[in-house]
Chains A and B, each alone.
Chain A
Amino acid sequence: MTAPLPPPRLLPSGDAAITVEFSRAIDEQANRRVLALDRALADAPIEGVVETVPTYRSLLVHYDPVQIGFDELGERLTALAQLPVPPATKTRRWRVPVAYGGEHGIDLEDVAKTLNTTPDDIVARHVAGDYQVAMIGFTPGWSYLSGLDPSLQMPRRQNPRLLTPMGTVSIGGVQTGIQCLAGPSGWHLLGQTAVRTYQLHRNPTFLLEPGDAITFYAVDGKEFAEQDLAAAHGEFVAELVAS
C-alpha cells in the first residue's frame, strides 16, 4: 500500500470553478499529477463537472453549482488527486517540423548572441529536446511545452510584440511553445512550423492534447512552404510516431 500523495490546495475560482493546485511553480511532478487527475475525471466523470482545463501546476475544474456544491466536489477531487499517479499508458508522440531563423524566426540570431553561441548551436539544442505538452491556453491551440534545455532559458522580452506570426515556435523563461494563431507574444521567436495545432474544419480541430510528447526537426524554407500548403488543405504535417 503506497502512502497517499500530499493533498493539493483547493482554491475557489468563483462559485462555479475550483482550481486544484499542486504547486505554485512550474514543476514536472505537479504537471504529471494535473494530467493524472484530468484523466481520472475523464474516465470516471463526477456529475456536475462541466469541463476541465489542465495547466502546468493546477487543474481548473468548471462545475454547475446547481448540481454539486464546493465542499462535496472539493472532497472528491482531493481524494482523487491523492491516488498514486498511474504511468501514462499510451503517450502520443509527434514529430513537428520547424523552419528555424531568418524570416521564420527573427530572434534566433539575437538569442545566439545573448547566449554566446551560434544560431546552429541554438537550433541543435532546441531540436535535441524531448518535450511534453504541459498545457494549451491563452488562444486556441497555443501549446506550452515543458522539457526545455536549461541552457536555453531566457527572460521574456522587455517589450512584448503585439503581433507574431501563426505557427511561431518560441522560447520564454523555462518554457518553449507552439502558437497557432498570429497574436501578441513576449517570447523569443526561434522558428515557424506549418503545423496547425488548431484548424476549424479539420478532424480533429485541435491536433495536440495536454500530455502529448513532442520532438522538433529542422526543415528549410522550401520544405516549410510545401508543408504550409499541405497544412492549409487540412493535412496534419506533424508525424505521429507510434509509442
Chain B
Amino acid sequence: MSKLVIAAVGPATSVQDGGRYGAQRYGLTPSGAADRLALAAANCLVVNPPFAAAIEIGPLGATFTARDGKVRVALAGAGRNAEVAGRPVSFNESCTLNDGESLTLGFVRGGTFSYLAIEGGVKGEPTFGSLSVNARAGLGSPFPRPLQAGDILDVDASAATVERKIELPAAADRPIRVVMGPQDDEFDEGKQLFLDSEWKISATSDRMGYRLEGPVIEHLHGHNIVSDGTVNGSIQIPGNGQPIVLMPDRGTSGGYPKIATVITADLGRFAQIPAGVGFRFAAVTMAQAQAEAREMARLLRILPGRVREMRHTDLNDALQNANIAGAAVNAFDSGTWQTWSLPEP
C-alpha cells in the first residue's frame, strides 16, 4: 500500500465521485463531482471506473506527495501549471510519482475545478454508495470534510509502466443551454431579460450554488413559492432578482421560483466558468436537451475507448526516425514524437 500525502491544499478541494443518489426524498443532497466528464476522463486514464472517487481541486494551488511507494495519478478538468520533481506534467495524461516525489499544481487557469484521479481509486467507506464529501451532513470518506494539509490517503502501489493519454472534444464556446421552467410562468419580461443578458458568476459561489450578477429579474407574484424539489442546474430567482444556479451540494427543496434549468450536458461546462467572466444562457427545447443528454451519455460510455497508451520507446523511435527523415523533433514537445497504440483489450 502506498500513500498520497496532501502536502498543501486550498479551500474547495474534496473527494468527489459520481454522487450519492436515492435519498433526496429524505433531504440528502447528491453531492458528487461538479464536472462529471472531467472526473470520468481522469479516472479512465488510470483504468478506474468513470465515476470512481477522485480529488476535486478548487481554484488555488495544491501539492500531493507519494509515500511508501509509487503512486499513479491523472489530471483532467480545468488546466493549471503542474509538475513532478521539476518535470512538467500534462493534463489528460497519466503520470507516476515515485516514492517521495511531489505533484505541484498552480492556480487554476480558465476554469474552476481540476480532477486528480488515483490508480485504484480513493480508499474509504461509502455511505449511500458514495465517498463524496457533504460536509453539512457529515458525509464523505476517508474524511467527511474538504481536504486539509497533512491528510494522508491510502492508495494502491502502482506497478504500471505505461502511461496513458486521452483526447477529449474541445469544450464548446457557446451559451449555457437551459430548458425554461419549472416556474417560468412566475416571470414576464424577466424571462427575456434572463436570456438576453450577460451574466457573471459571483466570487461568493460554492458547491451549493453559483450566485450570478447581472440585471435584476423581477417576479410577477413575489419571490416566495411553496417549497418544491430542486435538481442540479435549477436556476432560482430570490428576492434580490439575482439568479442562483443550484450545484451538487444544493438543498433538495427550495422556496424561490425557478425560471429555468441548465441542461444535463452543459452542467460541467457551466461549473467550470470562472468567477467574473461573462457568459450567456440560451433556451433549447426539451427534445434538443434530451438529445444532448443522450449524446453526453454516449460520450461518457465510449470514453475508455479514447484512451491511448504512450509507448516507452516512442521517444527513441521518433528521434531515430527524425535522423533518417530529417523531420523536426523536439524532445520537449510531446506532440512531435508521441505515437499511440490501442490498449490491450
Contact B290 A55, beta carbon cutoff 8 Å: no
Given the interface pairs A51-B22, A140-B26, the reply to whether A12 lies near B227 with Cβ below 8 Å is: no
Let me know if B112 is at the binding interface, CB within 8 A.
no
Point out the residue from B183, B229, B234 that lies within 8 Å of A137, measured CB to CB. Answer: B229
Point out the residue from A15, A55, A139, A183 that lies within 8 Å of B289, measured CB to CB. Answer: A15
What number of A-B contacts does a CB cutoff of 8 Å give?
A: 139
Q: Which of B96-104, B251-259, B272-280 contacts A (4 or more CB under 8 A)?
A: B251-259
> Please, which residues of chain A bring their CB within 8 A of the CB of B21?
50-51, 62
> Please, which residues of chain B bring their CB within 8 A of the CB of A102?
none
Q: Which of B47-55, B69-77, B131-139 contacts A (4 or more CB under 8 A)?
A: B131-139
Residue of B nearest to A52 (CB): B25
Residue of B nearest to A182 (CB): B136
The CA of A173 and the CA of B66, in the complex, are separated in Å by 55
Contact B28 A70, beta carbon cutoff 8 Å: no
Let me know if A236 is at the binding interface, CB within 8 A.
no
Contact A140 B137, beta carbon cutoff 8 Å: yes
> Please, which residues of chain A bring their CB within 8 A of the CB of B292?
15
The CA of A56 and the CA of B182, in the complex, are separated in Å by 16
Let me know if A101 is at the binding interface, CB within 8 A.
no
Chain A residues proximal to chain B, CB less than 8 Å: 11-17, 19, 21, 24-26, 50-60, 62, 65-66, 69-70, 135-142, 144, 181, 183, 198, 200, 205-206, 210
> Please, which residues of chain B bring their CB within 8 A of the CB of A60?
24, 228-231
Contact A53 B293, beta carbon cutoff 8 Å: no
A-facing residues in B118-149 (Cβ within 8 Å): 127, 136-139
A5 to chain B, nearest CB (A): 20
Contact A14 B233, beta carbon cutoff 8 Å: yes
Point out the residue from A13, A181, A198 that lies within 8 Å of B261, measured CB to CB. Answer: A13
B286 to chain A, nearest CB (A): 5
Point out the residue from B23, B183, B226, B253 that lies within 8 Å of A11, measured CB to CB. Answer: B183
Contact A136 B290, beta carbon cutoff 8 Å: no
Contact B231 A57, beta carbon cutoff 8 Å: no
Residue of A nearest to B294 (CB): A66
B253 to chain A, nearest CB (A): 3
The 6 closest A-B pairs by CB, nearest first: A60-B229, A137-B253, A14-B261, A11-B182, A15-B289, A53-B229
Contact B290 A69, beta carbon cutoff 8 Å: yes
For chain B, which range describes its interface: under 10, 10 to 19, 20 to 34, or 35 or more residues? 35 or more
Residue of A nearest to B251 (CB): A138
The CA of A6 and the CA of B226, in the complex, are separated in Å by 20
Contact A200 B139, beta carbon cutoff 8 Å: yes
Apart from A12-B286, A139-B251, what 18 extra A-B contacts exist at CB < 8 Å? Answer: A13-B258, A14-B179, A14-B234, A14-B263, A15-B286, A16-B264, A19-B182, A50-B21, A51-B24, A54-B25, A55-B229, A56-B228, A136-B26, A137-B251, A138-B27, A138-B252, A183-B136, A210-B25
Let me know if B88 is at the binding interface, CB within 8 A.
no
With a 10 A CB-CB cut-off, give which of A15, A59, A138, A144 has the most chain B CB atoms. A15
A-facing residues in B162-188 (Cβ within 8 Å): 179-183
Contact B226 A70, beta carbon cutoff 8 Å: no
Residue of A nearest to B258 (CB): A13
A98 to chain B, nearest CB (A): 20
The CA of A47 and the CA of B175, in the complex, are separated in Å by 32
Let me know if B193 is at the binding interface, CB within 8 A.
no
Let me know if B331 is at the binding interface, CB within 8 A.
no
The CA of A51 and the CA of B233, in the complex, are separated in Å by 17
Point out the residue from A14, A135, A198 that lies within 8 Å of B264, measured CB to CB. Answer: A14
Contact B226 A24, beta carbon cutoff 8 Å: yes
Point out the residue from B23, B28, B231, B254 that lies within 8 Å of A14, measured CB to CB. Answer: B231
Residue of A nearest to B284 (CB): A15
